[in-house]
Structure formats: C-alpha cells, structure tokens
Copies of this chain bind each other. A is one copy, B any other.
C-alpha cells in the first residue's frame, strides 16, 4: 500500500489528513477494526467505522524508562488501553518481568522483553502497531530510537508517535513508511493551520456541568483521577464525556480529545472549545470532565491556563501529592501549597475547587487517612485518594457540587 503521509481525504465534507487526527471528534483517533494493509480503503475505514470487535495488536517501546516518569505514556497504556491489544513492552532493563507487576504490583499477563525481535518471536505475530512510549526530556529521538522505529516500519508495523518531533516531517521516515506501506500517526500534530479555531465563546452555551481536573504539578495523577471519575459516574448511569488534553489520553482513544501543548498558543482555547462544544452537541452528555495539564502555577507547564480559558469550567477538582517537595524534573522549584493553588485557580477560572484528590506517593496508609482528614477540615470540601479509596468519594464531590445531577440517577432517588 502506498499511502502518502500528507495526503488529504474528504469525509462528511471535512478534509482530513490521515496523519493528523488528534482532535477530530467526528471519528476516534484509532481504529476499532483491523487495518487491511493492502487497501487504502481499509485504512480509511479504520478511522471512520466504529463498533467492530477486533482490537489491533501493539507493542510499546519504552527502553530504559518503563515505570519511570519519562515512560508516562507507556505506564498509562499498560493501565488502560481500550483501543489496543498490548502484546508486550520493550525495555531491556526490566526484561523478564510482568509489566503490571513492575508498574503497580499486580500481574496483568503482559510481559516485558529486551528487544523488538524477542517481542515478535514470543508473540508469534508481527504486531500491527509499534507505540513509541517514551517522552524523552530532550524531546528528541536518539539514534537508537530512530533505528528501532525504522526496524518496526520495515517489519510492516504502523507507528504511533506521541513526540513533538513529527516523523511524517522526516524524509527518512517518510521514505521508509512509503516503502513498507505503513502509516505513521503523529499524535501531537495539530490540525492544518487553516482549520485551527480562535476562541469564540460558544463553550458558554454548553449547559451541562464542565469539570476540569487540575493539579499542583505535572505527572501527578490528573488523568488517572479523571478516568476513575468518568468510569464511576458512568456506573451510576450518567452520560459522561471525557475530554483528554494530552498524548496519552489520545492514544487511549478518548474520542473527544486534543494534544493541547503542541497547538500554537493563539489557537489553544479555541481548539479546546471546539472539541467540547462538538462533544456537547453530539453526545448530549450529563457532564463533561476535562483533563488538565501541568499546573496553573507551573512556570514550565502552564497549558492549564489555556485549558481553563477554553473550557470555562463550572468546577475544578485538584490533584496534589502531599509528600512531593519539588516539581518533577525541576529540583529547585518547590511545590506550591494546596491553599495557594486553590486561591490562584479560583480567581483565574471564576470557578470553585469542589474537591481534592491526593497522590499517595511516599505515604503510608495511615498518613493517607490523616491527610484526608486534615485537608477536609482545612478546605471544607471532600478529599479522597482516587487510587486507594472508593470511587464513590469522587462521585460524591461532583454530586455535592451539582445536586441536579443526583436527581438524574434513579438509584439515588
């Protein structure tokens, strides 16, 4: 198959590029059905059709970084990846371990292998997708990274790339993918400039609650809390839309999503607004949950300011790690206090922080209880640990802030 990486296709009157699907809510970013590599039509179907049962297989490359901060995308996908059947993780430093055990102490049956070759041999099939699961702090592919990706392409695997560096802009990768007839998905690549939208204010016409999950730092658990909350609210029968704003959420298949930090600043609020409004129109949700990024107070990662402007939230849930002293990757940057972050968020967003979810890193079970008690008293709002406590506490935060929602839940009447 010869797919030109920058070729455009028309779908429902909208011109789309097969390698720039980060946020188009008309269809999910990832296929629900298997790609038939011999036909271009198969590829298009893969994006446009939903409901098929065959989940494509994938391996996640996370050399030297699985379970670590820079392996965030791989870690997230190992915990939750409804759009892919993950066959294995590649990380020579942890080869031989079960990935679930290595990550969270719970077996999941997905092994870690040392090399791509070993991974394919053991799977007895060539996985359909090779997911590059590292977010190197340099932001740039190493020579080894390039070699492995090219090897995967030569083997006929489609590539999922969440880096700021777009492989579809690189002549070597373009040539290799054409030759092998595979597709490279640059998850972070924004829509074409002509299609990017300026904020118009239409998000203010969404009349269901919009809740943003903010944090006091990056890599602190915002997405995990959002996922838990969404899942719990759905169990109560509510129609919930999750809007993902980072590359991991997009790869996990959130149908209404975009990668905020790679969009030119001018268009960030407008692009998010457009995704939220489309979700509102199409899904008629009872509530929309939006994933934040970094922290409003974080000098390096403050795309949350754009997320607040683009979503105009009615409420905020704050994720905090009480034992974290310095921001991740910034040894000289002290963590903000919960109180100062709440004050800043509430003034900036014109919305209340309705609950706190703590990240228990470095904490004993007893300390978690004490912390929940202490914060609840200090801030007079519900506090929980999204991973260690029942998700009902997260649901409680939301229903307490929006009592009308509770009336829509039969079991609570």
Contacts and interface: CB of A to CB of B under 8 A. Distances in A.
Interface of A: 139-140, 164-166, 190, 193-194, 196, 198-201, 260-266, 268-270, 296, 298-303, 305-306, 309-310, 312, 330, 332-333, 343-344, 347-348
Q: Which 9 A-B pairs have the closest CB atoms?
A: A261-B266, A199-B300, A305-B305, A299-B309, A262-B264, A265-B303, A261-B265, A265-B265, A302-B309
A201 B333 contact: yes
Nearest to A260: B265
A190 to B, nearest CB: 8
Contact of A268 (B193, B199, B265, B298): B265
Given A165-B193, A193-B165, A306-B265, A299 B201 contact: yes
Contacts of A265: 260-265, 268, 303, 306
Contacts of A312: 299
Most chain B CB atoms below 10 A, which of A265, A270, A310:
A265
8 contacts: A139-B196, A165-B194, A262-B265, A265-B265, A265-B268, A269-B300, A300-B309, A344-B347
A205 to B, nearest CB: 11
Given A262-B264, A296-B348, 4 more contacts: A139-B196, A199-B300, A265-B265, A302-B306
Contacts of A300: 198-201, 269-270, 309
Contacts of A201: 299-300, 330, 332-333
Q: Kindly report how many copies of this chain are found in the complex they form together.
A: 2
Contact of A193 (B166, B196, B260, B301): B166
Nearest to A298: B309
Which applies to chain A's interface (DSSP): helix, strand, loop or mixed? loop
A164 B264 CA distance: 9
A263 B164 CA distance: 12
A260 B306 CA distance: 14
Contacts of A310: 299
Nearest to A199: B300
A300 B270 CA distance: 7
A190 B164 CA distance: 14
A260 B264 CA distance: 9
A100 B194 CA distance: 34
Contacts of A263: 264-265
A344 B333 contact: no
Contacts of A200: 300
Given A201-B332, A343-B347, A164 B269 contact: no
Contacts of A309: 298-300, 302
A215 to B, nearest CB: 16
A269 B198 CA distance: 21
Contacts of A261: 264-266
Contacts of A193: 164-166
Nearest to A300: B199
Nearest to A203: B299
Nearest to A140: B194
Contacts of A260: 265
Contacts of A199: 299-300
A139 B299 contact: no
A261 B344 CA distance: 23
A173 to B, nearest CB: 14
Contacts of A343: 347
A301 B317 CA distance: 25
A300 B296 CA distance: 17
A176 to B, nearest CB: 20
